[in-house]
Amino acid sequence: MGHRVYISADKIKTKVKELAAELEKFIGDDEAVLIANLKGSVVFFADIIREIKSERIMLDFLSTESYVNNESSGAVKITRDLSLEISGKKVVLIEDILDTGLTLDHIIRYIRDIHEPSQMKVCVLLDKPQNRKIELEADFVGFTIENEFVIGYGLDNNEYSRNLPYIAVLKQ
């Protein structure tokens, strides 16, 4: 199974800089915690944090499971919780893709209810609104894409292809 480039590495790099500038405006002079949902967002997360100039950001990670063989199971399980105390802090959740919305909605509710940040924003590299199962929008969006199965730049095909420097569409 091959693939075709959908969003080039150069376009991603440009968009990451734009998103980082938007996040800096939200963060301002405050302390903020940026949270990556592993594993898919790790490449995007690493690139975006390097573009943020503020030295008042902290990093944390959580991990979820919701896909089985590239299909959303509809059930979201948090497999790794945050390690930092984020209560009362500004938080930015960094996610690779907003697809059905089920995983992201679960994470947002979990962080708000359990960890109680003062403010929380969501930044996604990719938004796939055609596939949404619940009403949900991200605060910061890199690219709005068609309903394609995408890989690369952290996104996987059964754990493979995360290392591609661009976003690609699998050829069936």
Identified catalytic residue from 47, 96, 99, 127? 99
Residue 72 scores a pLDDT above 60: no
Q: What percent of the chain has pLDDT over 70?
A: 95
Structurally, how many domains does the chain consist of? 1
Gap between the Cα atoms of 53 and 24, Å rounded = 7
pLDDT tens string 120-162: 999 999 999 999 999 999 999 999 999 999 999 999 999 999 9
* Residue type at position 154: G
Mean of pLDDT values over 41-50: 98
pLDDT at 97 over 90: yes
Is 139 a residue of the active site? no
pLDDT at position 48: 98
In a domain, 43, yes or no: yes
3-state secondary structure of 148: coil
Asked if the structure places residue 126 within a domain, the reply is: yes
Q: Is residue 111 part of a domain?
A: yes
- Domain with 68, as residue range(s), is 9-145
| Distance spanning both ends of the chain, measured CA to CA | 7
**Given pLDDT bands bounded at 50, 70 and 90, which one contains residue 75?**
confident
Q: 108 or 70, which is more confident?
A: 108
Q: Which helix (H) or strand (E) holds 122?
A: strand 119-127
Element (H, E) at 95: strand 90-98
Question: Can you tell me the distance from the alpha carbon of 151 to that of 149, in angstroms, rounded to the nearest whole number?
Answer: 7
Q: Give domain status of residue 3, yes or no.
A: no
158 assigned to some structural domain: no
State the chain's mean pLDDT as an integer.
Answer: 93
pLDDT at res. 73: 57
Checking if the pLDDT of 67 tops 80, the result is no
Q: Please enumerate in sequence order all residues whose Cβ is within 8 A of that of 57, keeping only pairs 6 or more positions apart, or say none.
A: 27, 31, 32, 33, 34, 49
Residue 79, domain CATH? 3.40.50.2020
Considering only residues 65 and 69, tell me which one the structure prediction assigns the higher pLDDT.
65
